[in-house]
Amino acid sequence: MYIKLGICLVIIGLYSFQLFGQDTFSEEESLFLAGLDTVYIDNVDVVSKKINLYEVGGKKETFTPMQKQTTEAGNLSDLISRYQPIYVKSDAGGLSSIRVRGTSDNHTSVKLRGLEINSQTLGSYNSSNAPVFLFDQVELTYGSSTATKGSGSIGGNVNLGLENKYNAGVNSEVKLSAGSFGEYMAGAKVFASNGKFESISRLAYYEKENNFPFTNTSSYDFEKQEFTRDTQKNARIENLNFIQQLNYRWNKDKSISSVIWLAKNRHEGQPNMNENQNPNTRYLEDENIRTWVQFDNITNGINYYIGAGYVFDNAIDYNNKAQKIATQRIIAETGASKEYNKISVKAGMRNVYIKPDVYAYDDNIDENRFSVFASLLYKPSPWLKTTLNLRQQVVTEFSAPFTPSLGFDARLWYNSQSIISVLGSLQRAYRIPTLNDRFWGQDGYTGNKNISPEDATSYELGFNYLYALDDKWVANAKINAFYMDVDNWLMWIQGTNGWYAENIAHVISNGVEFSGSLTRNYGQHKTTLGGNFSYNSAERKKSELETDKLNEQIEYVPIYNGNLYMQHQYKKWDVGIDGSYVGERKYNQVGGKLDAFKLINLSCAYNMNINKNKLTISANINNLLSEEYQNQYNYAMPEINYRIGINYTF
Amino acid sequence: MNKLRLLLLALPFLFASCSNDDDNKPSLKITGHYVLNYGSYSATVGSLSYIDLENNTVQNGAYESANGVSMSGKPQYAYEYKGNIYFMGNAKDEIFHVSADDLTQTQNGVAEDIIKPRFCVGNGDYLYISCWGGDIWAPENREKSYIAKYNINTNTVEKKIMLPDGPEGLAIVDNTLYCTLNYTNKIAMVNLNTEKITYIEDLPAVSTYFIKDNSNNLYVSLVSSYTDGVIELIKEPGLGYINTSTNELEANYKFEGISGLYSSVLAFNTDKSKLYVVGGSYGANGYSGGIYSFNTNSKTFDETPFVDNISGINGVYYNITSNLIYVMISQSTTTNGLLKTYDTEGNIIEEYATGISPGWIVDVTK
C-alpha cells in the first residue's frame, strides 16, 4: 500500500515540478506530506531552493518546458502574460511591467540569486529586457514575501533561475528564430564541466523593427469619417544579454558559484497612437552589470553561505549621456542554516550599499540598507509544517518596519491516488520608497525625503488537490484566496509649483485564483490540458486626494484574468494551443476603460534526433484572431503575427 | 444634419450625472463657458466640460458628445475666435478647431509647421501661435522655438517667425505682439508689420502669461525656474507691469510663490480693479496653493489670500456675467479635476467635477 502510494506521489511530484511547473507540490513536498522522506530523487540545483524551504503557505508557480520553449524567443513578459493570470502592463515590446494581485509595478521584485534586478531609481523592472532563453526556470511567488526577500516584494516576486548542473562534458545549444515585423533572435548556451569545475555561458541577441499595422483609434479622419489605418513607427528593440557562470564544487557539501550578467538593452520609446506620426525618435538604453559570487559549505550539519555582489545600472534617455541616471550597488550577505528532525532554522544578515549618480539628485547621496533575518521551519508531524520568518531592515536616515511572516502547509486528506492539502500565510510587507521618490530634484518634480515606506499586511489561504492514476492520468487543482491591505501607497501628485512624491492612498486588494491541469498519457500520445483564472478586486479605501475615487477598481487591474492551454505530444511532434483573456481595465478614474481582449496562439514543434544531438524546428502563430487590443492606454499592439525557429542541442 | 448634431450634443447631457444635477433638467445650451481639461500623458486625452450655471451642473465630455470621438491629443490652450474654438493640440501636435456653436469638428487638424504649440492670440485673419519647436528644456533646442502665423481661412501656417527661448503667453497691443519667454529673462516684441523683434531685457525672472489692463498695459507673471542655465536668471519672481507705451518693465510686485504652471494663472474682475493670481508655497504640510488678490489701484496684494490651502490648484477665471470666481484644481493625472466657484468675498458657492487637469476656461458667450 505504502509502496504504491509512494510511487504515485513520486509521479505526482515529478509531474507537478517538471510538467505543471508548480513546485508547491514538488517531489520533496509530496514525499514530506506522505511521510516518505527517505526516497531520494535527483534534481538540479535551483538556487532558490534554500529560500523556498522557509516559504510555506504561499502560492508559487513555474512553467512547463513546453511553455518555456514556446516563448523562448521572447521575453519574460511574454511568458508570464501568456501562461499566468497576472496582468502585464506593456506596450508592444520595449517596455513592460508585471503587476501581481492588484499591486503596482514596483511592488514586484525580480531576483537573480542574491541580486535584486529592479531599478533602484524607478523601483520597477522592465520585464521586456529579460530573454526567456537565458534562464533555466522562472519561478513566480504570488503575494507578499518581504520577510524572506526584502523590500518591495509586496505583490509578488519573480525569481530567474540558473542551474548548476556539474554534468561532466561539454554541451551546447543554439537557437535561431525569425518572426513578423522584423523580429530576429539568436541565442547560444555552452555548458562545460569536469564534474568539479563548471562553466556555463549564455548569450541572447534580440531585435525587432516592430513596424506592425494597426487601426489608430486616436487619429480620426474627420473628412473621411473613419479611423486611420496606421503603421507603428519608432518602436525598434535591440537587446543583447550575456550571462557567464563559473562554479567549482569540492564535494556535494562545499561549492563556490558565480554569475555575471551583462546587458545592453536599447529600444525606441514606442510612441503612443497620438504621436505615431511624430518623426522624433526617443532612444532608451539600459546598461547593466550584475554579478554575484557565493560560497556554500556544510560543516557539522550547519549549512552556511557567504555571498557578495556588485550591480551597475545605467539608464540613458534620448542618447543624452550627460543626464546620467546610474546607480552602483555593493551587496554582501551571509547566513547559516541547520536542519534537525522537526526543526530547521536559518539566520543571516545582508547589507546593500547604494551610490546613485543621477543628474537630478544632489551629489552627496548614498545609502546603506542593512538587514538581519531569521527563519524557522517546524514540522510537528508528517502532515504539517509551519514557518516563521522575521526581518528587520535599517536604512540610512529612514525607518523601515519590522517584518514578520507566518505560514503553514497541512495535509488534510490522502489516499493511494490523491492528496488534499491546505496552506496559508500571514505576512507583513513593505517597500522602501525609490531613490527618485526621495531625492529627485528638477524643474517641476521634487522628491520627498519625509515620506514613509509603503506598508502591507497580507493573508492567504489555499487548497491543493493532486491526483495520479499510475502514469495514465495526472491532475492537479489549486485554489487560493488572498487579502492584501496596503497603506501609505505612494504617488506623485501635483502641487502649485510642480510634482512631488507623497504617501497618498490606502488600497485593499483581494481575490481568488484558480489553477489546474490534467495530463493523459496513452500510447505515444500525451495530452495536457490546463488553465488559470483570477478574480481580483483592488480598491482605494482612503486617499489624501479629495478627487480620488474610493471603493472603485484601481487602474490597470483587471477584475477577471485567465488562460487555457492544451499541449499534445505525439512521437516527435509537439503541438499546442493556448488562449488568454484579460478583462476590462480602467486606465483612469474618470471612466476611461480598455476593452477586454482574448488572444489565441498556436504552436507546433518537430523534434529530430541526429546521432546524439537534438534538432527542433518550431513555428508559432500569435494572436490568431488578429484581435485589436491595448495593454496600456493608447499604445498599439500587433495583430496576427508569426514566428519560426530552430533549436539545436549538441 | 444640424439637428442630428444637436441631438448628439444633447444625448450625454441627458445621462450626465454630477454632484448637484440629479434633479435638474437637461440643458441644450451650448453657449457659455467651457473648462479646457488638458488630460494627461498616460491616462487620457484632453476634453471640454460645459459649465451650466443655470442648472448648476458641469457636463463633462462635451467634445466627445459633439463629435463621437475623443480629441486627438492634449490641448495646451483653447481660444475662441471668429466663431470657432482653436485648440493648441499637444501630442499629437496640431491646431484643430471646432464650431463655437455646436463644438463639431469637420476638418482634420493642421500639423505642418506646428511643433509643440502653446498659446495663441488672434489678429485679423491670423492666429499668432507660440510654438516650442522641440524639447525646449534642452539647451540645444532653445533656438528652435517660433511664432507660427496661422491663416484661419486657409488653415495653413503661412510663416514661422523664429523666436528662441520658448515663447509662451502672447498679447497684442498696437500691432505689436508681446511674447513671454520661458527660458530666458526677456520679453520679446514682434512688430507685426515688419516682424522685427525687439526685447525688454533683464527681467527679474522668466515670464509666462500676460493680461491686459484698461490702459492696454500688460501685467505679466514672472516666475521661477529650476532649469539648468535658467535658474541663475531668477532674481525676484512676482507680478510684473509693462508699460506698452515705453515698452519697459515699470514695476515688479514681488510674489515669491507665483504659479509657474502653464494654465490660467491670472484673471481680472469685471472692472479690472482686482487681479486674481494663482500662487502658493511649500510648508510643513506640503504644497499649499491659493488665489491672491492684487489691487490694481493701490498696486498691492491683499494681506490675506483670497482663498488658500487648496491642494493642486491649477487656474483661476473670473466670470464677468455672474461675478463668480472659478478655481480650477488638479490633484492627480488619473482622476477628475475640480471646479470650485467662489463669490467675490471668497465664500465657496459650489464644487463640480471636471475632466482631468482643468487649466483654462473657454468663453463662448461673447
For position B287, what pLDDT does the model report?
Answer: 56
Closest alpha carbon to B131 in B76, B56, B210: B76
Residue B3, pLDDT above cutoff 90: no
Question: So what's the pLDDT on residue B243?
Answer: 97
* Range with the poorest average pLDDT among A105-109, A396-400, A481-485: A396-400
- Chain A hits for B335, Cβ within 8 Å: 545, 547-549, 588-590
A interface test, pick of B226, B292, B327, B328 with most A CB neighbours within 10 Å: B226
pLDDT above 90 (res A504): no
Chain A contacts in chain B segment 164-203 (CB below 8 A): none
A19 vs B255, more confident: B255
Of A221, A589, A634, the CB nearest to B335: A589
Q: Which of B267, B271, B268, B306 is nearest to B289 (CA)?
A: B306
B96, closest residue in chain A (CA to CA): A222
Looking at residue A119, its amino acid is S
For A179-229, the pLDDT digits (tens) are 999 999 999 999 999 989 999 999 999 999 999 999 999 999 999 999 999
Query: Which pLDDT value is given to residue A470?
Result: 79
Taking the Cβ of residue A550 and every Cβ of chain B, the question of whether any pair is shorter than 8 Å is answered with no
Name the DSSP letter for residue B144.
Answer: G
Task: Please give, one letter per residue, the 3-state secondary structure of A22-48.
Answer: CHHHCHHHHHHHHCCCCCCCCCCEECC
Does the A2-649 domain belong in CATH 2.40.170.20? yes
Closest in A223, A441, A493 to B108, CB measured? A223
The enclosing H or E element of A562 equals strand A560-570
pLDDT above 70: residue A496: no
Quick one: cell of A328?
Answer: 552602483
Identify the weakest region by mean pLDDT among A481-485, A487-491, B51-55. B51-55
Sign of CA dihedral A327, A333, A339, A345: negative
Instruction: Calculate the alpha carbon distances from A77 to A89, A132, A295 in Å.
Output: 9, 9, 32
pLDDT confidence of residue B76: 95
CB proximity B57 to A under 8 Å: no
**A555 to B331: CB separation less than 8 angstroms, yes or no:** no
A509-558: per-residue pLDDT in tens?
999 999 999 999 998 999 999 999 999 999 999 998 888 899 999 999 99
> What is the per-residue pLDDT for B281?
62
Q: How crowded is the C-beta side of A426, counted as CA atoms within 13 Å? A: 4
Tell me the helices (H) and strands (E) count for chain B, helix number first: 2, 28
pLDDT at A498: 66
pLDDT at residue B46, as a whole number: 92
R_g of chain A, CA atoms, integer Å: 24
| DSSP string covering A49-98 | HHHHTT--SSEEE---HHHHHHTTTSBHHHHHHHHSS-EEEE-SSS-EEE
Q: What is the mean pLDDT of chain A?
A: 88
Residue B43 in this model has a pLDDT that exceeds 70: no
Say how many CB pairs under 8 Å bridge A and B: 134
Q: Residue A423: exposed, middle, or buried by beta-carbon count in 10 A (0-12, 13-18, 19+)? A: buried
Which of residues 117 through 156 in chain B touch A, CB cutoff 8 A?
134-135, 137-138
Amino acid A568: pLDDT:
95
Please indicate whether, in this complex, the C-beta atoms of A443 and B72 are within 8 angstroms of each other. no
The pLDDT mean for chain B works out to 88
Considering only residues B110 and A43, tell me which one the structure prediction assigns the higher pLDDT.
Answer: B110
Cis, peptide link before residue A379, omega less than 30° from 0:
no
Contacts of B225 in chain A (CB under 8 A): 443
What is the end-to-end Cα distance of chain B in Å, rounded?
A: 25
Alpha-carbon distances, residue A233 vs A24, A230, A237, A271, A580 (angstroms) = 44, 9, 12, 7, 27
Give the pLDDT band of residue A147 (cuts 50, 70, 90).
confident
Taking CB atoms and an 8 Å cutoff, what residues of chain A touch B332?
491, 493-494, 545, 547-548, 589
Written as nine digits, the cell of A406 is 507566518
Burial B206-241, CB ≥16 within 10 A → b, else e: bbbbbbbeeeebbbbbbbbbbbeebeebbeebbbbb
The Cα of B124 is separated from the nearest Cα of chain A by a number of Å equal to 26
- Cβ-defined contact of B312 to A589 (cutoff 8 Å): no
- State yes or no: pLDDT of A427 exceeds 70: yes
Taking the CA atoms of residue B350, residue B353, residue B354 and residue B357 in that order, the dihedral angle to the nearest 10 degrees is: 100
Instruction: Tell me what the mean pLDDT of segment A350-355 comes to.
Output: 96
What pLDDT digit, counting tens, does each position of B301-326 carry? Answer: 998 899 988 888 899 999 998 899 99
Nearest beta carbon to residue A588 from set B43, B111, B281: B43
| Contact: A443, B355; criterion CB under 8 Å | no
- Across the interface, of B42, B227, B337, the residue whose CB is closest to A547 is B337
The closest alpha carbon to A242, from A259, A257, A258, A261, belongs to: A261
- C-alpha cell of residue B11: 444625448
**Closest approach of chain B CAs to the CA of A446, in angstroms?**
11
Higher pLDDT, residue B5 or A615: A615
Residue among B173, B267, B264 at smallest CA distance from B218: B173
**What average pLDDT does range A328-335 have in this prediction?**
96
For residue A469, the tally of other CB atoms under 10 A from its CB is 14
Q: Is B244 helix (H, G, I), strand (E, B) or coil?
A: coil
Chain B contact for A362 (CB, 8 A cutoff): no
Does any CB of chain A come closer than 8 Å to the CB of residue B225? yes
- pLDDT on residue A65: 87
Kindly state the helix (H) or strand (E) to which residue A473 belongs, with its residue range. Answer: strand A473-495
CB A60 within 8 A of CB A555: no
Indicate yes or no: CB of B282 within 8 angstroms of CB of A220. Answer: no
According to DSSP, residue A453 is labeled P
In one letter, which amino acid is A436? N
Instruction: Enumerate the β-bridge partners of residue A404.
Output: A390
CA distance A576 to A569: 9
SS3 content of chain B, % helix, strand, coil (to 5): 10, 45, 45
The label of the residue with cell 533572435 reads A185
The pLDDT score that the predictor gives to residue A237 is 95
The residue of chain A with its CA nearest to that of B336 is: A590
Query: What residues of chain A lie within 8 A of the CB of B62, using their CB?
Result: none
Kindly list the domain boundaries of chain A, sorted by start residue.
2-649
- Mean pLDDT highest for which of A43-57, A118-132, A134-148, B31-45? A118-132
Mark yes or no for CB contact A495/B287 under 8 Å: yes
Instruction: State the cell numbers at A104.
Output: 503596482
What is the pLDDT, as a whole number, of residue B6? 41
Band (A32; pLDDT cuts 50, 70, 90): very low
Asked whether residue B282 carries a pLDDT value surpassing 90, the answer given is no
Can you give the three-state secondary structure of A568-594, one letter per residue? Answer: EEECCEEEEEEEEEECCEECCCCCCEE
pLDDT value of position A480? 96
A419, amino acid identity: I
Which neighbouring-strand residues pair with A137?
A161
User: How many beta carbons lie within 10 A of that of residue A376, not counting itself?
Assistant: 16
- Note whether A55 and A174 are within 8 A (CB): no
For residue A277, the chain B residues in CB contact (below 8 A) are 92, 111
pTM of the model: 0.85
Per-residue pLDDT of B53-108, as tens digits, reads 888 899 999 999 999 999 988 999 999 999 999 999 998 899 999 999 899 999 99
At residue A169, what is the residue type?
A: G
Distances in whole angstroms, Cα of residue A394 to Cα of each of A353, A373, A400, B210: 12, 12, 6, 51
Rounded distance between C-alpha atoms, residue A277 and residue A221, angstroms: 14
Identify the pLDDT of residue B284: 46
Facing residue for A220 by CB, picked from B69, B137, B336:
B69
Among A254-268, A312-326, B101-115, B262-276, the least confident range: A312-326
**In A100-231, where do the E strands start and end?**
108-112, 115-116, 137-142, 156-161, 163-164, 169-179, 183-193, 197-208, 213-221, 226-231
Please name the residues in contact with A251: beta carbons below 8 A apart, sequence gap of 6 or more. Answer: none
Interior angle at CA A646, CA A645 and CA A647, nearest 5: 130
Asked if B45 lies within 8 A of A218 by C-beta distance, the reply is: yes
pLDDT at position A501 is 86
Touching B: A residues 2-21, CB under 8 Å: none
pLDDT of residue B7: 40
- Does residue B130 contact residue B120 with C-beta atoms inside 8 Å? yes
Residue A495: per-residue pLDDT: 61
Minimal Cα distance from A546: which residue of B?
Answer: B331
Cβ neighbours of B35 in A, within 8 Å: none
List CB contacts of A495: < 8 A, sequence separation 6 or more.
Answer: B280, B282, B286, B287, B289, B311, B312
pLDDT tens digits for range B97-136: 999 989 999 999 999 999 999 999 999 999 999 999 988 8
pLDDT at A168 over 90: no
CB contact under 8 A, B314 and A547: no
From B105, B280, B333, residue closest to A497, measured CB to CB? B280
Among A27, A69, A23, A66, residue whose Cα is nearest residue A48: A23
